Structure 1
Amino acid sequence: MNKLLSISVVFALFFGACSNENRKNEDVILNGKVQKSSGQTLFIHELTTDNLIPVDSVKLTDEGKFSFRFKLTEAGFYILKLSKENFVTLLLAPGENVELDVPGGNFSSDIVIKGSEGSELLMQLNLKLRENYSKVDSLVEVYKSIQNGKDFVESKKQLDLAYTEIFEDQRDYVKQFIDKNPKSLASIIALYQYFGNQVLLKETDDFEYFEKLSLSLSEVYPDNKHVLDLRQRVSDFKRAEAQRIQAEQRLNDGSEAPEIALPDKNGNVISLSSLRGKVVLIDFWAAWCPPCRQENPHLVKLYNKYKNEGFEIYGISLDRDKDEWLKGIK
């Protein structure tokens, strides 16, 4: 009996230790130093799919040092910031022990990260973006210097062409980044990256990247919220695209017109199919549309001319107010 009790105690201690160790492995430790920022408050927020959630904050020491430790159940994106303009995006995973050094005090241009593979990839992505933004800044300076010159129009064309080349260079880099890192969450940031106010990759033009990244990340992170969001986005686009194609096919030359059934002024439902065999003009109009109202007398004249030859007009009002519609057809 005593032996059984001893074994039970040993097992309890063993599994308890394992449980504590697992909990420790879920912790993320984030240590670092930000020069020229002593005494300032450093914030860390989680970047979810649709929100920014505060996680913690700490006051930098006189030497600019800081330390964070918090639990993490899945890999995700975090914003470490001193201010609205001075911040860095990190990709953290459970169990990581991350070291940051910011010698110049500026997260966007002067930072060294160790211990976080995902964050290091984001640094590479951000470095390329900064390089191309710097090139655009140079173009802006040239633009300012020539805007009052006699050859401004021709020079602006050259500047526009140079900007397009920079934009395409960033696009190409983002595609290559995703191709090289198909199983890193960092590629989600690349996928959604903007250049100025323009998105680099669009579902309409680059859907293959959205779909293949969704598939590859789902293998590694099947339940991660960022991957689930991407998977839903891909699914929504495919469904919308299928509906668009189906709608276009229904309106192809020679295709049967889709059914329409609407009430007339007396409440009787008139279907488009009830006019099958006749030549039908479908007229979309509204009482609030002056050009439509101006056209109505001509339609009446046309109808009276050809009504005995199998001609009909099926008018569809876009009015939301029934009274306005009724006034419009008097």
Structure 2
Amino acid sequence: MRKIIMTFAIAAALTSCQEDKGYTISGDAPKMEDGKTVYVSEIDENTSRPIRVDSTTIKDGSFKLDLQDPESPNLSFLEFEGTQGNVIFISENEEIKFKIYKDSLRSSEISGGKENKLLQEYLAHLKQVNEKVMQGRSEMQSAFQQKDSTKLTSLQENEKELIDNDKVFKKKMVQENPGSFVSIMVISDMLRMKSYPVNEIQDMFAKLSEEVQNTAIGKQISKNLKEANKVAIGSKAPNFTAPTPEGDEIALKDVMGKVTVIDFWAAWCKPCRVENPNLVKTYNKYKDDGLSIIGVSLDRPGQKDRWVKAIKDDGLPWHQVSNLQFWQDPVAQLYGIKAIPAAFVLNEEGTIVARDLRGEDLDKKIGELLNKN
């Protein structure tokens, strides 16, 4: 934060106390009924959830509301009584105008303020990418049904190029707008989608302005990055102890091999069950060379029988543990698990050398580590 001469800071504080202009939102909503309530919500700093902060009503197909100046930009939402969905915008000390489309709130137009202009650019990009991905996957399904392998491969390459371009776009947006609140939203998406290694995302975050880093979302991202760094590639895998199906306790350190895979899965997880035969094949291929696997199940409380049955049905011969606490499983939380299946590959020293690999990619990586390729 830049140093400010004390007298100037006091004068500015007095001015802000005496004259709080606030920021204004207004909009045209021609298909909304008069008398319907318009709610304004924003992300709460303590809970990271939207909370309603003010409201107004529709009159003659329009609305207007004066709000208190935000100390810093924040992710905000407009909701309309009796209408599903919301309109995303950023609170900033500007006059923000909306053109509301009742039948498609997400298509509503927003003008006013550099933050909202950049937000609209980002949302338009996401919409375009999503539409192209969905169209491509529909064509992939058709090519698969027609057994057109050449077209299927081409479509898969197109999707990879599309995703790579999306990553470049997001990184460029963050780099070119270090003082923008939108950049913290982009970084949040990067972290959630694992677009870049954690250390690269950390570097991008560190180059944002202090004002942006200290917003409610910025503080949450900082916390998430610290947690992610604990299980990033190159970090020492955190040790844990958990109960087996037989009720015994085993620790990660006690089952380490030359290469160790921590496999997060659950009996209720269909993608996990589909992946299990591949993992069994890989285990049988490398178990005599030093491969060890420990499965950590995120099965629900009271469903031990389903967990045990899945182990038997899928023929999983390696170590298995679970606290039967669903997403609240302490081991899953320790490793920041937000989706399954998820796998961490450790070397002999217990360092994480790869993660989130499946099928042939996981088999190849283990072979490389065991010098079998």
The TM-score, its normalising length taken from structure 2, stands at: 0.52
* AA partner of residue 215 (structure 2): N
Distance between the aligned counterparts of 1:68 and 1:109, measured in 2? 24
Aligned-partner Cα distance in 2 for 1:107–1:170: 24
The C-alpha deviation readout for 1:260-305, integer Å capped at 9, x for no partner, is xxxxxxxxxxxxxxxxxxxxxxx999xx999xxxx9xxxxxxxxxx
Moved over 6 A (4+): 14-17, 245-248, 316-320
Name the structure 2 match of 1:90.
89
Q: Residues 55, 209 of structure 1: CA spacing in aligned structure 2 closer, same or farther, 3 A cutoff?
A: farther
Query: Which residue is 2:31 aligned to?
Result: 36
1:59 pairs, out of 57, 60, 66, with 57
| Distance across 2 between alignment mates of 1:319 and 1:223 | 37
The answer to whether 1:177 aligns with 2:173 is yes
Which of 182, 205, 214 aligns to 1:186? It is 182
The equivalent residue for 1:125 is 122
Which digits, 9 at most, give the CA deviation of each residue in 1:73-104, with x for residues without a partner? Answer: 332110123377542322223x3322223468
Question: Helix, strand or coil for the counterpart of 2:179?
Answer: coil
Contact 2:86 2:106 in 1 (8 A): yes
> Any conservation in 2 of the 1:36–1:64 contact (CA below 8 Å)?
no
More helix by share: 1
Of residues 129, 132, 139 in structure 1, which corresponds to 2:136? Answer: 139
Q: How many residues align?
A: 244
1:228 pairs with one of 211, 219, 242: 219
Q: Does the CA-based 8 Å contact 2:41-2:51 persist in structure 1?
A: yes
Instruction: Identify the residue that residue 275 of structure 2 maps to in structure 1.
Output: none
Distance 2:164 2:77 in 1: 28
What is the percentage of aligned positions where both structures have the same residue?
A: 13
Query: CA-atom RMSD, angstroms?
Result: 4.4
Rg bigger for which structure? 1
Q: Give the partner amino acid of 2:226.
A: S
Tell me how far apart the structure 2 counterparts of residues 230 and 319 of structure 1 sit (CA, whole Å). Answer: 29
Is 2:231–2:238's contact at 8 Å kept on the other side of the alignment?
A: no
Is this contact kept in 2: 1:38–1:64, CA < 8 A? no
In 1, Cα distance between equivalents of 2:41 and 2:162: 32
Cα separation, 1, equivalents of 2:199 and 2:83: 34
Structure 1 match to 2:206:
215
| Structure 1 residue 175: Cα displacement | 1.1
SS at match of 2:39: strand
> Which residue in 1 is equivalent to 2:18?
21
Is the CA contact 1:89–1:119 (under 8 Å) kept in the aligned structure 2? no
Which amino acid is 2:185 matched to? Answer: I
Shift of 1:20: 4.2
Contact 2:178/2:208 (<8 A) preserved: yes
Q: Scaled by the length of structure 1, what TM-score is found?
A: 0.58
Structure 2, unaligned runs of 5 or more: 1-10, 240-251, 259-291, 295-307, 324-373
Q: Which amino acid aligns with 2:168?
A: D
Match of 2:163 among 161, 167, 179: 167
Gaps of 5+ in 1: 1-13, 254-282, 296-315, 321-330
Q: Secondary structure at the match of 2:107?
A: coil
CA contact (8 A) 1:192 1:201 kept: no
Q: Which secondary structure state, in structure 1, belongs to the residue aligned with residue 24 of structure 2?
A: strand
| Structure 1 position 118, deviation (Å) | 1.2
Secondary structure at 2:23's aligned position in 1?
A: strand
- Counterpart Cα distance in 1 of 2:213 and 2:134: 41
Aligned 8 A contact 1:99 1:113 in 2: yes
- Name the CA shift for 1:99/1:155 in 2 (closer, same or farther; >3 Å): same
